[in-house]
Amino acid sequence: MPEKKNQSEATSRAERREEKQNESAKKSKAKPVKKENNNNEASKKQKTRKERRRLIPIWLRIIIVLLICALALLAGVMIGYGVIGDGNPLDALKLETWEHIIDIVTREQ
């Protein structure tokens, strides 16, 4: 008869599960449970599971994330132009400012 491990010894769940299956197989002289049966049981649980209704739909989440990104971009431009660049932060939102920046970047030497 194999020695039983003390409960104080650390054993993994897989080892304990394997020992239980071996003990039950010896007692009933039946084959261990196949994994396919476990998958079927899991799929039945998923089918009977109540469908979860989302508080905020996915399409609305995407729009919210895009709006937050746009606001962060505007805030970054205003901070960069106004605080770091020593200009008026509201000037960063004007079209003339961006035309001037593009002209400086693309002009030929």
36-66 residue pLDDT tens: 556 666 666 666 777 888 899 999 999 999 9
More confident residue, 102 or 1: 102
Eight-state DSSP code of residue 34: P
Q: Whole-model pTM?
A: 0.49
pLDDT in tens, 93-108: 999 999 999 999 998 7
What b/e readout covers 21-49, taking b as 16+ CB neighbours within 10 angstroms?
eeeeeeeeeeeeeeeeeeeeeeeeeeeee
For residue 53, how many C-alpha atoms fall within 13 Å in the half-sphere facing its CB? 0
Residue 24 reports pLDDT greater than 50: yes
Domain boundaries, the chain: 13-48, 58-106
